[in-house]
Structure 1
Amino acid sequence: MSSVVHPTQKTCDLQAEIAKLTAKLAQQDLHIRWLEEQLRLSRYKRFASSSEKQSPDQVALFDEAEQLQDEASEQEQEPDTTATTVTAHQRKSRKPRIPEDWPREQIIHDLAEADKVCPHDGTYLVHIGDEIHEQLDIIPAQIKAIAHVRRKYSCPCCEKYIVTATKPKQPIEKSIATPNLLAHVVISKYADALPLYRQVSMFKRIGVELNRTTLANWMIQCGQLVQPLINLLAEAALAQPVVHMDETALQVLNEPGKSPESQSYMWLLLTTGHQPVVYYHYHSRRHADVPEQLLGDYHGAVMVDGYDGYQSICQKNQLTRLGCWAHARRKFIEAQKSQPKGKAGKADQALAYIQKLYAIERQVKDKTVDERLKIRQTQAKPIIDKALYGFLGGSI
């Protein structure tokens, strides 16, 4: 026998079902919007420019009120003046100048003897001056062989004592490379970004036969020679009150114990100031023990991104962990790119606030430490406390 459901109970059940379906639809709508944002962001990363520059017009959307207020204040303070029009001018490019202390070679261009006579009265012409035009010339690389001749002497009486003159110690003993040649290859590769295979071709053009393996071995041994300097750089960096750290993925072929497709990492430790240090450290993996190895017993402030691997050393050494605005800004850039085209949103507003902070940093770039601190406390801190954090707190 079927039971009869009371109309009131049936209505309540239907309302509950409607509410449940409505909540489910809302949740699905949120998920669809999230998927659409991820799709837009993925398309942007794949096909669009990777630049993170912001349009000044886009930034001005969120500080228009402040600009108008500043303009109004200026109008109240400044007396009326007659507008003047300044004609536009083109920036003139400066010609390269040759330093005065560089050696000069004069090439005299003189008249033939027959031309040194006046065509009007036949009088012999007198030298009254010169017109000088200087050019910059370059002497191509020159290769020479250096023969170290070590004189040998012996006693003519006993003929038992033989002595040979010593020669200066070489960076790489029994190698054909002089210190100058090694320095040339190092600078070309690491300062001028010339790969070793290109240098091999350049040497071949001037008649020197070297192979890439030989140059690579030289670079490895030079790295071992400069290791004491590298250690001093690391010590100098850790003597500073603030250090910056980051890590970049790279691929290393034929690395023992790893497949060619796996990633290794180049870790960076950097300082700023009068004598900045840029210290690179290679490691086969990305792990918390790497920053612990690099920082050791350092006690100061470290500026890093959001990678959790830095938290262990920060807690262990009680380091002040500083956030990087460039990394924080990148998240808002990604949020901005995932917005519907032509629509401004909260990400644009946050980027406008960060842009103001960047403007303040450009302003204090050449000022003293105390001046920078004062300006940051009076101008940047209110933006962070009231505008940016207030905006984020109400939006999350």
Structure 2
Amino acid sequence: MYPTWRWYGPKDPITIDEVSALDIRGVVTALHHIENGAVWSREEIRQRKKELKEMPWSVVESVPVHEGIKQNSEAAPKLLENYRQSLQNLAAEGITTVCYNFMPVLDWTRTRLAVPVPGGTTVALRGLDLLAFDLFILNRPHAAEDYPAELVELATDHFEDMSEADKQEVTDNMLKGLPGSEESFELATFKQAIEPYRHISSVEFKENLQRFLEAIVPTAAKEGIKLTVHPDDPPWPVVGLPRIVSTRDDLKDILAMVDDQASGICLCTGSLGSRADNDLPGMAREFLDRIHFVHLRNVARAPHESFRESGHLQGDVNMADVMGELLKAKVDVPYRPDHGFTLFDDRKRETYPGYSLYGRMRGLAELEGLRAGLSATARG
């Protein structure tokens, strides 16, 4: 394993000069300014490499999968052709690890972005705020049928206690797009965006993922690219949208769709670790040879499929056990500290939610210390 750092390009509040001062071996970035579904040209890729100032571009996170592919629409063949061309252009520029996700409409979602915790601020997700949004702000048809009756009752009481500012905050966080997201919405356009998925079952959605992989993996294999699918974040349905990359069985199914080393996993310990029934050390052990990229993040779970993000070594995921399994890999896999508290001077600058400088530096230091200790123990 070797450490990397996610950087959002020239508009990132953290400069590449600050990133280059960190003890890392590569940068994780993407061309967020390019429209979803368009080809990433070699010229644009070279420009981003130039902006990295000699720092290696270790991982692309992400080349977005267009909704037309996810829905298997009439536009899918052209969109798949563009995706293949983007992979070919990346490979031609020497970039061969590409992360993607197959979450419909929304990328990672949070309802609150500044939940106070000792020593800093962090984020929270998937509690009664999300249910209240789905039931009473979005007013999704038949939404109550997706939840147990007692949870609907709790969410109803919660919504009645929310101030107008609370409701606006939750709505903004759900719709406006968090770092790495490729879309933002108003309430009306969001309703339009999720409408097609009322008619796509989880089984059909998984078939669409298989079609994507069958079309893309041969190109990736030919070009020497390692594709890595990021787990659903959160790993439960959100406003009725299907989730198919949330459990050990999901990952096993995906790897079997096109059984090739070019099709692999991004092991995100935060996303997968949000579910108590996911055995992270076991998953790392089982899928070790197909894990091409790692996000190390920790969470403190709470009732009603909710959680708060925690320090990298302080949550419900046993990071030492997970890393111990990952260190058995025969290849050097990139990892990045994923999310972090808002600490020190981070509070004085407009950093992206979860993507602070000092908070992630703390996580990086903790994880590198853990890695060094485990490696020394294994040698000893």
Which TM-score band applies after superposition, normalised by the shorter structure?
under 0.3
Q: Structure 1-normalised TM-score? A: 0.21
Q: Which structure would you say has the larger Rg?
A: 1
Structure of higher RCO (CA pairs closer than 8 Å, 6+ residues apart)? 2
